[in-house]
Amino acid sequence: MAENKRIDHPTGTETVGHEWDGIEELNTPLPRWWLWTFYATVAFAIGYCVVYPTIPSANGAPGGNLKWSSREELEKTLAARQAELKPIHAALAATDISALPGKPELMQQAIAGGAAAFKVHCVQCHGSGAAGAKGYPNLNDDDWLWGGDLATLEKTIADGIRQPEHDATRFSQMPAFGRDGILQPAQVEDVTSYVRTLSGQEGMSASARRGQALFAANCVVCHGPDGKGSRTVGAPNLTDGIWLYGGDRDTIRQTITNSRYGVMPAWNLHLDTVTIRMLAAYVHSLGGGEAAPAPAPAPAGATAAATPAETANGGG
């Protein structure tokens, strides 16, 4: 077929010599500069292979005269970002957390940094939206076991909850009333009835009245005579609508019988001061953050108990 070449009259161009049902193909010459462009791309490709690592081998793709690697590039980018953040971190390290609200811009930067750190270190328990789960407090609400002002949050994050090998940790332990035989199962049932009346979930019953006496004898030390809890020992407020483990009869019975022992790492063993400060600022910004207690810094619990405006304290 290739013998069938001819010059096409209207275009003056030679055909390639193929013919299918009368359809022929013109062999229009390519512009020569197009060919040069093609050679240029070939030359570029060869140059690229010389300069950058291109040939895969068992040890990645070594070679390339520029010694370029994407990991190094990432490290450089990260280092540049760290350098950018350095002055912010220095300012945060030099600022006491209680002074942060007076510096709105630094506060915003702290919150942004805290949001990033939260996604790395905290979401495993508290969830990506900080909404918590059963046994893990919701950090968005206005209910705090140990207190919700900036300084208290910072301390809680830094020293953790119930970390035995850490001296400064927040510690308290509720007795396992049922398991250890302090209360008989029927008594546990009565206390459960009373606790449910505190949050208005049940009306006063004979069982609750018996429970009230047991509560006064066993629970008020930590939870207070009115059941509003105490932040000094992280005792939850039993009168509000928020329950860390659950407010139904079964869960409350379990809690009284076996007690609870929620823990959180002491983050100052793992993170630097600035990161912890940023985390505290972030958690404070989630919507439940409280103002610093008005009186001079005394033991936090004493002031908390004396401030009736603060309704918060985890139920549970």
| Residues lying near another protein in the complex (CB under 8 A) | 1, 3-7, 9, 13-14, 27, 29-35, 104, 108, 127-131, 138, 140-143, 237, 240-242, 285, 287-288, 291, 311-312, 315
Q: Give me the least distance between CB of 3 and another protein, in Å please.
A: 7
E-assigned strands of 129-226?
none
**In the sheet where 7-8 sits, what is the strand order?**
7-8, 13-20, 23-26
Cβ 230 to another protein shortest distance, Å? 15
**CA-based end-to-end distance of the chain:** 91
**Comparison of 190 and 240: residue with beta carbon closer to another protein:** 240
Instruction: Determine how many CB atoms are found less than 10 A away from the CB of residue 234.
Output: 24
Pick the closer one to another protein by CB: 64 or 101.
101
Q: Phi first, then psi: what are they for 211, rounded to 5°?
A: -65, -35
CB nearer to another protein: give 2 or 186. 2
d(CA 104, CA 306): 30
CB of 218 or CB of 285, closer to another protein: 285
Give least dist CB 206 to another protein, A.
27
Instruction: Report the residue number, 26 or 49, with the smaller CB distance to another protein.
Output: 26
Decide whether 62 or 241 has the Cβ nearer to another protein. Answer: 241
Residue 18 φ/ψ region, left for φ over 0, alpha for ψ in the -120 to 50 degree band, beta for the rest: beta
Calculate the alpha carbon distances from 246 to 82, 217, 249, 258, 304 in Å: 43, 24, 9, 14, 24
Nearest distance in Å: CB 123, another protein: 10
> How far is the C-alpha of 63 from the C-alpha of 65, rounded, in Å?
6
Angle of helix 70-94 relative to helix 273-285, nearest 10 degrees, comes to 80
Comparing CB distances to another protein, the nearer of 183 and 304 is 304
The residue assigned the tokens 């690229």 is 48
CB of 240 to another protein, least distance (A): 4
- And the tokens for 172? 């308290």
User: Which DSSP state fits 25?
Assistant: E
Tokens of 175: 């007795």
Minimum gap (Å) between residue 9 Cβ and another protein:
7
Q: Provide, rounded to whole angstroms, the least separation between the CB of residue 63 and another protein.
A: 28
Torsion of CA 43, 44, 50, 55, to 10 degrees: -100
